[in-house]
Amino acid sequence: MALLVSSWSNGVQSVPKDYVMPPERRPGDFVSACNEIPVIDLQENPKIDRSDIVQQILKACQEFGLFQVINHGVSEKMMEDMRVLYHEFFNMPVDDKLRGYFEPWSTTGCSLYTSGVNYAKEDVHYWKDTLRHPCHPLEEHTPSWPEKPARYREEVGRYAVEVRKMGFKILDLIGEGLGLNEGYFNGVNQYQTMAINHYPLCPDPGLAMGIDGHTDPNLITFLQQDQYGLQMCKDGKWMGIDPIPNAFVVNIGYQLEIISNGKLKSAEHRVVTSSTTARTSIVTFFGPNAGLPIVVEPAKELVTSTSPKMFKSYQYNNFIADYLAYIRKPFPPSGTPLDPYRV
């Protein structure tokens, strides 16, 4: 395994050659956090109608494909515990971190890797290390999780359960906005995985990238972040996402765009690095289980004579295989991973 960026970057004065992006892939001018991106308060409040919240979420999913939520039900203490835990994790000796892990994107086990999903074949690397593991069902997956810090499995297990509750709550609100039956997403939301991305200090953020622009292939993603660095692209322009303490960033993935028959849009996003603050994001992905023969298609309720079917029906595992092949192509691949699935 290639050594983690965090194992050699401390104190480096310049970006090593194989991390210098070609000019067209560099982040460009500094983009500050933008206050247009919706922040939705999920606090139950007798003065606020549930339908108002549904409409706010729907509008955010249609216009941005990304929003933040506050008062979402996951306790602030638990979110703080996660920040402390992962700070400790990424500061452990490299041998403690690396023990027993497999290749990136293992769907069955835990992996710790550096850069993107294709280190060996990349012409240039990303300034990022990632710990990734599935979370649901818990009993099946916790044995593959890190043993250090000693409280890892217990604390992350509790967090995964709380984030799952929030995830279903928000999916129900989205389903209600779309006019789908309650519980619609249960069948396509069995999979839950976490990626903890660590972006160490970078001596020259103008030359490097944390992650290139991409859209998540799953249904929906919930992200906890401690520092600025995440940006989304709207109408060809990058916009910075404010790291609001204890908020979750919610972004729509390809599966939700497809199920909504194009009514909701998925959000392209990327991460830039910083020379003054290291950054850690704790990301939970929800979606279908790629190990089962799950068929995904636009919801029948949303396909009408005035809104014809925009995407084919397909098996999710085939979509993921195509997505991985797409992101492993030389950058930038032509088209988008959705193109082969359009009617």
Ligand X SMILES: O=C(O)CCC(=O)C(=O)O
Q: Which is nearer to Fe ion, 178 or 232 (CB)?
A: 232
Q: Any residues with CB less than 8 A from the CB of 63 and at least 6 apart, and which?
A: none
Q: Say if CB 216 and CB 266 are below 8 A apart.
A: yes
For ligand X, how many residues bind (rule: CB under 6 A)? 11
b or e along 128-149 (b: 16 or more beta carbons within 10 Å of the residue's beta carbon)? Answer: bbbbbbbbbebeebbebbbeee
Taking CB under 6 A as the rule, does residue 255 contact ligand X? no
- Give the C-alpha separation, 277 to 280, whole Å: 10
User: Choosing among Fe ion, ligand X, none, which partner's interface includes residue 15 (Cβ < 5 to 8 Å by kind)?
Assistant: none
In the complex, minimum distance from the CB of residue 130 to ligand X, in angstroms, rounded to a whole number: 7
Taking CB under 5 A as the rule, does residue 268 contact Fe ion? no
In the complex, minimum distance from the CB of residue 323 to ligand X, in angstroms, rounded to a whole number: 12
In the complex, minimum distance from the CB of residue 223 to Fe ion, in angstroms, rounded to a whole number: 8
Per CB under 5 A, the segment of 47-55, 174-182, 211-219, 271-279 that binds Fe ion is 211-219
Restricted to residues 273-312, the positions that interact with ligand X (CB under 6 A) are 281, 283
Q: Any residues with CB less than 8 A from the CB of 259 and at least 6 apart, and which?
A: 188, 219, 296, 297, 298, 299, 302
Residue 106 burial class via C-beta count within 10 angstroms: exposed 0-12, middle 13-18, buried 19 and up: middle
SS3 label, residue 307:
coil
Q: How many CB atoms lie within 10 A of CB 174?
A: 24
Per CB under 6 A, the segment of 62-70, 105-113, 223-231, 287-295 that binds ligand X is 223-231
Taking CB under 5 A as the rule, does residue 212 contact Fe ion? no
In the complex, minimum distance from the CB of residue 52 to ligand X, in angstroms, rounded to a whole number: 29
Taking CB under 5 A as the rule, does residue 216 contact Fe ion? yes
Taking CB under 6 A as the rule, does residue 271 contact ligand X? yes
Q: Is the peptide bond before 16 cis (omega within 30 degrees of 0)?
A: no
Position of minimal CB gap to Fe ion = 216
SS3 label, residue 155:
helix
Per CB under 5 A, the segment of 41-49, 58-66, 80-88, 215-223 that binds Fe ion is 215-223
In the complex, minimum distance from the CB of residue 1 to ligand X, in angstroms, rounded to a whole number: 19
In the complex, minimum distance from the CB of residue 150 to Fe ion, in angstroms, rounded to a whole number: 30
CA angle 62, 67, 70 (to 5 degrees): 140
Taking CB under 6 A as the rule, does residue 211 contact ligand X? yes
Using the Cα atoms of residue 113, residue 118, residue 123 and residue 127 in order, give the sign of their dihedral. negative
Restricted to residues 54-93, the positions that interact with ligand X (CB under 6 A) are none
Residue of 134, 108, 255 lying closest to 187 (CA atoms):
255
Q: Say if CB 86 and CB 297 are below 8 A apart.
A: no
Determine the length of the chain. 343
User: Choosing among ligand X, Fe ion, none, which partner's interface includes residue 225 (Cβ < 5 to 8 Å by kind)?
Assistant: ligand X
* Chain center to CA of 16: 27
Q: Which is nearer to ligand X, 230 or 252 (CB)?
A: 230
Identified binder of ligand X from the candidate list 195, 259, 294, 310, rule CB under 6 A: 195
Taking CB under 6 A as the rule, does residue 129 contact ligand X? no
In the complex, minimum distance from the CB of residue 229 to ligand X, in angstroms, rounded to a whole number: 6
Footprint on this chain of Fe ion (rule: CB under 5 A): 216
Footprint on this chain of ligand X (rule: CB under 6 A): 195, 197, 211, 216, 223, 225, 230, 269, 271, 281, 283
